[in-house]
Amino acid sequence: MARLAQAAFDNVQRSLTLDLGAQSWIVYEEKSGTNQYGGPFTTDETAQFLIEIHSSLLAGVVNRIDNQKNFVPKLVELAHQSKDLWTINRIAKKLNDITGVDFYPWDLHPLDSWWEQNSMNFTNWPFDEYSKGIDAVKACRYDQALTNLDFVLTIDPTADKSRALAVACAIEIGNLQKAQQLNTNYAIGDGRWNNGHREE
C-alpha cells in the first residue's frame, strides 16, 4: 500500500514538473452569453479575478499575470490558500518568473524562507481600496469612489479600469478638471476602458 502511494506521489511530482516547462497553458477568458473576451486584461481586472475567481479557473488567471511585482504578496498568499496542486504549480512558475524564487507545490518551505527575507521589498496591490471604490460606484457614492480609485492609481498607474471609472466619477461630481487630468496615460492605448481616448 505504501509503495502504491509513493508511486502515485511520484507520478504527480513528474506531471507537475513537466507542467512547469510546458510551452502552452490555460488562460482565463471572460464569457457573457455568447460573447467571449480573451484580453488584454488590465491589472485591476486581473486583481479582481484573483480575489473572485473560483480555484478551478485561478490557474488561468495566474498565467495571464505579466511581470507585475505588486501581485507577488497575493500570489504568496494564494499559494498557501489553494488546495489545488496545479494552481499552486502555476503560482510557483509565475513567482519564479517574477522573482526567481524556486519551490514546488508539495513543499512551500523554500517559498516561506524566501518570503520571510524578502516580503518588505514588495508593495501589495491595493485590493481593499479597489473593492471599496467599486462598491462606492455601484452605490452612486462618486466622491468616495473617486478617492479610492485615485488611490489605486497612485499605487498602480496602469489600472485602466480604475482610471476610466475615476474619470466617470469625477464627471458625475462635476470635477471636470480632475476628469481631464485622469483621462490620459492609459496603459492599453486601444483597450476597452480607454473611453475612445487615444494618446497622441
DSSP, collapsed to helix, strand or coil, labels residue 30 as strand
Look at residue 30 in the predicted model and tell me its pLDDT.
67
Q: Are 39 and 155 in contact (CB under 8 A)?
A: no
Task: Using pLDDT thresholds of 50, 70 and 90, give the confidence band for residue 28.
Answer: low
* Of 60 and 148, the one with more pLDDT: 148
Q: Are 173 and 179 in contact (CB under 8 A)?
A: no
Look at residue 200 in the predicted model and tell me its pLDDT.
37
Task: Using pLDDT thresholds of 50, 70 and 90, give the confidence band for residue 193.
Answer: confident
* Of 194 and 94, the one with more pLDDT: 94
What average pLDDT does this structure show over 134-151? Answer: 97
Match 476597452 to its residue by C-alpha cell. 192
CA 102 vs CA 63, 78, 95, 110, 142: distances in Å = 17, 16, 8, 7, 44
Residue 20: exposure state from Cβ atoms within 10 A (0-12, 13-18, ≥19): middle
CATH topology assigned to domain 127-182: 1.25.40
Length of the chain: 200
Q: Would the pLDDT of 155 be above 80?
A: yes
CA 65 vs CA 3, 68, 70, 145, 178: distances in Å = 39, 7, 11, 26, 30
Residue 185 is given by DSSP the state -
What average pLDDT does this structure show over 64-90? Answer: 91
User: Measured between alpha carbons, how far is 61 from 47 in angstroms, rounded to an integer?
Assistant: 9
Q: Would the pLDDT of 12 be above 70?
A: no
Q: What is the pTM of this model?
A: 0.79
User: Measured between alpha carbons, how far is 99 from 21 in angstroms, rounded to an integer?
Assistant: 17
Share of the chain above pLDDT 90, in %: 55
Closest residue by Cα to residue 173 from 196, 197, 145, 150: 145
Match 513567482 to its residue by C-alpha cell. 95
Q: Would the pLDDT of 174 be above 70?
A: yes
